[in-house]
């Protein structure tokens, strides 16, 4: 009898899956394809179920419509009185004058937002072995006496076994181009800070960005908000649902580090780009960029791993991946 019940349940689950994957409701098909195709090593999940033409059609109809302007530097560095509950969460400081942790949660996701009150204390740090292999965020944080740390660049990750040493796109550190990798083609451009602690989002080349004041920067995207204008979303945005890392700055100069956990059913699946933009608008981000996500999304506080990254260790347990670089607060 138990075998019969088990077979019935299995049949039901299979029929349900096939209906969602191939049925008339395109939402699930679009979600599966966009989620798989924006990972570094799981494209096969989409190609196993769908033809190349179907995948191309879905990606063509689900994408982020970015504002093509560069960000301006009209940041006021002046905290105003809060006007709603979200402002109150940010502006109502506690004993710590440097940062504040705000837990985030919603339908299917959990994460944290770090509010950083002094943006001049944000720096980019790189792996000691840049170009060869990366280091975990915990290691990078401890080696650089970081109070807060998040992952930054993406990295070349052929077949999911990348060492984290070769960043995708350009990397600027201390006003110099230190790595000139291949762009991901995921939109966006260079994102980094000038000496005044202003977040700059630009599609300029690295040397122009440096000439215009960028001190530290990495290349990734898409840009989610430019000068207060949110990117548009076509379909589901083309990125599916996954763990996310976001770098943003408000008009008053306060910087937001956002890390959303994901790929862990029962705890947190992750977010899509629409949900990220909603969170950023709630907290009045003026400029914002999506950084590398997935298994790379990691957060440290006072040198200790604070989130639940979904990287896979050699023993099969969840853990941190090696990274080429990180944004830290010192």
User: What pLDDT, on a 0 to 100 scale, did the predictor assign at position 37?
Assistant: 81
Please determine, for residue 41, whether its predicted confidence score (pLDDT) is greater than 70. Answer: no
**Band of residue 12 on the pLDDT scale cut at 50, 70, 90:** very low
Strands (DSSP E) contained in 16-143 are 63-65, 99-106, 109-116, 122-126
Q: Quote the tokens at residue 29.
A: 């098909």
User: What pLDDT, on a 0 to 100 scale, did the predictor assign at position 276?
Assistant: 97
- Summary mean pLDDT of the chain: 89
**Band of residue 19 on the pLDDT scale cut at 50, 70, 90:** very low
Do the bridges between strand 122-126 and strand 109-116 make them parallel or antiparallel, or are there none, so unpaired?
unpaired
Q: Which residue has the tokens 């029962």?
A: 266
User: What pLDDT, on a 0 to 100 scale, did the predictor assign at position 15?
Assistant: 46
The CB density around residue 176, as the number of other CB atoms within 10 Å, is 10
99 strand-pairing partners: 116
User: What pLDDT, on a 0 to 100 scale, did the predictor assign at position 32?
Assistant: 77
Please check whether residue 256 is in contact with residue 279, taking contact to mean a CB–CB distance below 8 angstroms: no
What does the alpha-carbon distance between residue 249 and residue 234 come to, in Å, rounded to a whole number? 24
- Greater confidence (294 vs 24) lies with 294
Picking from 250, 297, 247, the residue whose alpha carbon sits closest to that of residue 270 is 297
Do the bridges between strand 99-106 and strand 244-250 make them parallel or antiparallel, or are there none, so unpaired?
unpaired
- Greater confidence (163 vs 198) lies with 198
pLDDT tens per residue, range 125-146:
999 999 999 999 999 999 999 9
Cβ-count burial of 121 within 10 angstroms (0-12 exposed, 13-18 middle, 19+ buried)? middle
What does the alpha-carbon distance between residue 245 and residue 276 come to, in Å, rounded to a whole number? 10
Q: Which DSSP symbol is given to 70? A: P
**Band of residue 24 on the pLDDT scale cut at 50, 70, 90:** low
**Band of residue 87 on the pLDDT scale cut at 50, 70, 90:** very high
What does the alpha-carbon distance between residue 55 and residue 46 come to, in Å, rounded to a whole number? 7
Query: CB neighbours of 197 closer than 8 A, spacing ≥ 6?
Result: 77, 118, 119, 120, 121, 122, 253, 255
Taking residues 297-303, report their average pLDDT.
Answer: 97
Taking residues 212-229, report their average pLDDT.
Answer: 97
User: What pLDDT, on a 0 to 100 scale, did the predictor assign at position 204?
Assistant: 97
What does the alpha-carbon distance between residue 81 and residue 64 come to, in Å, rounded to a whole number? 33
What does the alpha-carbon distance between residue 217 and residue 199 come to, in Å, rounded to a whole number? 9
* Listed range (27-31, 67-71, 244-248, 278-282) with the worst mean pLDDT: 27-31
User: What pLDDT, on a 0 to 100 scale, did the predictor assign at position 184?
Assistant: 80
The share of the chain scoring above pLDDT 90, in percent, equals 65
What does the alpha-carbon distance between residue 33 and residue 51 come to, in Å, rounded to a whole number? 11
The share of the chain scoring above pLDDT 70, in percent, equals 89
Please check whether residue 305 is in contact with residue 138, taking contact to mean a CB–CB distance below 8 angstroms: yes
pLDDT tens per residue, range 43-54:
877 888 788 888
- Greater confidence (63 vs 297) lies with 297
Please check whether residue 112 is in contact with residue 239, taking contact to mean a CB–CB distance below 8 angstroms: no
Please check whether residue 321 is in contact with residue 116, taking contact to mean a CB–CB distance below 8 angstroms: no
What does the alpha-carbon distance between residue 228 and residue 60 come to, in Å, rounded to a whole number? 26
């Amino acid at each position: 009898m138990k075998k019969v019940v088990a077979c019935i349940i299995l049949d039901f689950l299979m029929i349900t899956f096939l209906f969602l994957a191939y049925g008339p409701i395109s939402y699930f098909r679009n979600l599966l394809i966009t989620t798989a195709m924006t990972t570094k090593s799981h494209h096969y999940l989409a190609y196993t179920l769908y033809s190349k033409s179907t995948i191309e059609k879905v990606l063509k109809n689900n994408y982020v419509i970015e504002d093509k302007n560069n960000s301006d530097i009209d940041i006021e560095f002046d905290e105003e009185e809060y006007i709603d509950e979200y402002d109150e969460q940010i502006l109502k400081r506690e004993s710590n004058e440097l940062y504040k942790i705000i837990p985030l949660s919603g339908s299917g996701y959990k994460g944290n937002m770090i509010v950083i009150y002094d943006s001049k204390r944000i720096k980019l740090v790189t792996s000691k072995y840049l170009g060869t292999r990366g280091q975990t965020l915990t290691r990078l944080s401890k080696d650089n006496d970081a109070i807060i740390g998040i992952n930054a660049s993406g990295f070349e990750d052929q077949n999911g076994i990348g060492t984290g040493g070769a960043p995708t796109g350009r990397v600027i550190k201390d006003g110099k181009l230190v790595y000139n990798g291949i762009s991901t083609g995921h939109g966006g451009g260079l994102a980094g800070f000038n000496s005044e602690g202003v977040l700059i989002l630009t599609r300029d080349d690295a040397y122009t960005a440096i000439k215009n004041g960028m001190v530290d920067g990495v290349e990734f995207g898409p840009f989610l908000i430019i000068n207060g204008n949110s990117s548009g979303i076509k379909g589901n945005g083309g990125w599916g649902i996954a763990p996310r890392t976001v770098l943003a700055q408000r008009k008053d100069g306060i910087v937001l580090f956002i890390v959303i956990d994901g790929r862990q059913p029962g705890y947190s699946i992750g977010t899509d780009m629409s949900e990220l933009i909603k969170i950023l608008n709630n907290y009045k981000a003026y400029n914002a960029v999506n950084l590398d996500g997935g298994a790379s999304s990691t957060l440290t506080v006072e040198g200790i791993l604070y989130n639940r990254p979904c990287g896979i260790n050699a023993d099969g347990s969840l853990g941190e991946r090696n990274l080429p670089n990180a944004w830290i607060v010192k």
